[in-house]
Structure 1
Amino acid sequence: MLELKRYYADSGIADNTNAFMDEFEIGAGDPRNLSDCFQVFSIAHALTTTPEALSIATSLTLKEFEDDGCCYIELRSTPRDTPYMNKRQYIESIVMAMQKSCEKLNIVSRLIISINRNSLVPEVEEISSLAIDFFKSHPDVVVGIELSGNPNVGKFEEFIPSLMKAREAGLKITLHCGEVSNPTEIKKMLLFKPERIGHAICIHPKFGGNDDIWSLLCDFKIPVEVCLTSNVNTKSIPDYNSHHFKVLYDAGIPLILCTDDKGVFSTSLSHEYMWCMETFGLNQLQVTKMAFEAIDYIFARGEVREILKSKFNSFVNQ
């Protein structure tokens, strides 16, 4: 955030965010909730209105994850029109920054293009078409499309045609699913059979779901992107001990630990694994196995998975 503010000051572009770091981060004990976090995201949007700023943000994010020991990352971003670039230029800026970063970083990075639930159908169709275009021109970067945003806005069925179009073109799909209790929509999402779902809080009956949708998840074994700190800090879950991770883990649902947004939620992937071990009593062998198996659920091509597994085994056997 400070780097971006410095960029705007040096370039002479007005910085209208008027925000401090403590306003940008939703850390432990912060009174804000899930609805408030979408207002925080608007600060990040205001600081990435130019191709240069977006490139800086992308490069810094990749570097932070590599410094944390990550060897693979799937960045996510929703294309936007700004006074300085259109949606296509927005995606181009991220793709170019990722390609340039590959020249000096060891982390393998891929891009998932996001659709915000508050978008109208024409914009959804535009973003889906752009995702397909970039998947065809940059298959080594763009690998998937996701539906995310405020779970209380929009209806899933409105997005299905554009998601189907992307799926038919070869893009993988992940859906933010079950962030709030809405069994009807959750069932539609699970029956859509995305390659992954995010959060999956309100699926088990204990967490606001029901037996029907819980049985579907258990039958389909759709991998879940688990975001411990994000769920706690947004008050979606009271605390780490109350998190639904253990229910998913005990049911044998494939799990991938994620940060959601490491800057906003003041965390890192290392911290997520630490919380997982300390809270749920998993030992080193168990979290190592979970991390290794997560490689099977990435959206990159098969050869990338084999490279990552080789790196992983080399690290573990050191």
Structure 2
Amino acid sequence: MDNEADTFYRELPKVELHAHLNGSVSFQTIEKLIRRKPQLNIEHSMTAIGKGQRRTLDECFQVFKVIHQLVDSEEDIFMVATDVIKEFAADGVKYLELRSTPREETATGLTKRRYIETVIKAIQQCKKERVDIDVRFLVAIDRRNGSQVAMETVQLAEEFFLSSDGLVIGIDLSGDPTVGHGRDLLSALQRAKNSGLKLSLHLSEVPSQHDETDLLLDIPPDRIGHGTFLHPEMGGSQGLVDKVVQKNIPLGRTYFNISSLPLDNGQLFLWIFFSELCLTSNVKGQTVQCYAEHHFKYWYHMGHPIVICTDDKGVFATDLSQEYKMVATTFGLSREAVWKLSQQAIDYIFAPVSVKEQLKQKWRNLQPQEFK
């Protein structure tokens, strides 16, 4: 990034809604973890995918396994979470929703409950230090672990949803998309929805998941993660697009976060799903051939609500400023359009309306005069 562009994108206030904790560990934090555990013989090249490099999805998940070896205690998790939060804040992120699968490690005595408690402790510590960022947490279900573990994860999330003073706000469904089927997780996800937890589900990350996607959209989720192969141009189906783009929904039906877009004939598109798009992640993970062919273009020109995210800023060697600049340069967005994209992301956060209003006021205070 050149200096002038760097200043604009760094100073741009941003919302990050799709950030996996362990995938967001920076080079500097990895270095500290490696020094703590030299016996593991882990090198930096094993924990990140550098510039110009690509990996298969399976190889990407192997990187996470390496990072999990480095992050296996409460002390590790606290340091990682604190560093990640401060790094996002330094990158101009004003609101962050972290997500992570609670893990247990027999060797260190780590339990899933303590895992979540430690992430919350890190969030509270950053708040105590007056770090300029509002952070919330999504408890993640790893689809590879099956239905029983998914239900246990939801039950744990429900407890913290009620006891964390608004810090735990939702459920993430993630993990290797080639393993298992969403039908096995429906009961757990529906329970989470009924409990008031928000749902962000990884959908259509790989081709030929039409049946699963159709099933999970019926819950419905509050946000879609990736959605790479939803639309026909990427091998999806018009039926799935029609399900995401709900036309003429009776006003008596209630959905969270509904927004609308006028059509030429006076009708409205009513959007009930919002998409978290992670460009560098998709390109380096080879689910998208190149930036110019990313499905951002499809949904953006349709007017569909989308949020630019990093997914795993450490693993994919990026940050949110770089992602916004990549979107702008690839698709010819003006700086005012970039500002609006960032500002509109506030509407799709899972925190209460009062938090949204506070963020909108912050954006108004920071808005460049030429955009007013």
Q: TM-score range by the shorter chain?
A: over 0.9
Cross-structure match for 1:235: 286
- Asked if residue 201 in structure 1 is aligned to residue 224 in structure 2, the reply is no
Change (3 A) 1:92 1:8: farther
Identical columns (%)? 38
- Report 1:282-293 matches (<5 A): 282-293=333-344
How many pairs does the alignment contain?
Answer: 315
Provide the secondary structure at the position in 1 that maps to 2:172.
strand
Aligned pair 1:44/2:67, yes or no? yes
Letter in 1 for 2:126: S
Residues 307 and 190 of structure 1, relative CA distance in 2, 3 Å threshold: same
Question: CA 1:168 to 1:250, structure 2 compared with 1: closer, same or farther past 3 Å?
Answer: same
Aligned position for 1:98? 123
Q: What's the secondary structure of 2:199's corresponding residue?
A: strand
* TM-score (normalised: structure 2): 0.82
1:249 corresponds to which of 297, 300, 303: 300
> Is 1:180 the counterpart of 2:231 in the alignment?
no
User: Matched residues in 1 for 2:41 and 2:233: separation?
Assistant: 41
Paired letter, 2:128 = E
Cα distance change on mapping 1:238 and 1:34 into 2, 3 Å: same
Change (3 A) 1:288 1:2: closer
CA distance in 1, matches of 2:290, 2:145: 32
Structure 1, 265-274 or 137-146: larger mean CA deviation: 137-146
CA contact 1:197–1:223 (8 Å) conserved in 2: yes
Equivalents in 1 of 2:32, 2:245: separation in Å?
Answer: 48
CA distance in 1, matches of 2:210, 2:74: 40
CA distance in 1, matches of 2:34, 2:231: 46
Looking at structure 2, the residues matched to 117 and 63 of structure 1 have their Cα atoms a distance apart, in angstroms, of 29
State the match for 1:129 in structure 2: 155
Whether 1:159 and 2:185 are equivalent positions in the alignment is yes
Question: What is residue 12 of structure 2 aligned with on the other side?
Answer: none
Q: Distance in 1 between matches of 2:132 and 2:334?
A: 28
Given the two structures, how large is their TM-score scaled by the length of structure 1? 0.95
Deviation at 1:2, TM superposition (A): 4.8
**Is the 1:229–1:272 Cα contact (8 Å) retained in structure 2?**
yes
Unaligned runs of 5+ in 1: none
CA distance in 1, matches of 2:216, 2:148: 21
Q: Letter of the 2:302 partner, please give it.
A: A
Structure 1 residue identity aligned to 2:52: G
Structure 1 stretch 120-129 or stretch 198-207: which is displaced more? Answer: 120-129
Deviations 1:41-71 (A, max 9, x none): 1122111111011000000000110110110
Deviation at 1:3, TM superposition (A): 3.7
1:32 offset after TM fit, Å? 1.5
Partner Cα separation in structure 2 for residue 16 and residue 129 of structure 1: 36
Instruction: Give, in angstroms, the shift of residue 241 of structure 1.
Output: 0.6
Name the CA distance, whole Å, in 1 between partners of 2:115 and 2:39. Answer: 20
CA distance in 1, matches of 2:217, 2:355: 27
> Within the alignment, does 1:63 sit opposite 2:114 as a pair?
no
Deviation at 1:19, TM superposition (A): 2.3
Closer/same/farther in 2, CA of residues 162 and 139 from structure 1, 3 Å limit:
farther
Moved more, 32-41 or 273-282: 32-41
Structure 2 regions of 5+ residues with no counterpart? 1-26, 247-270
Q: 2:205, 2:44 → 1: CA distance? A: 26
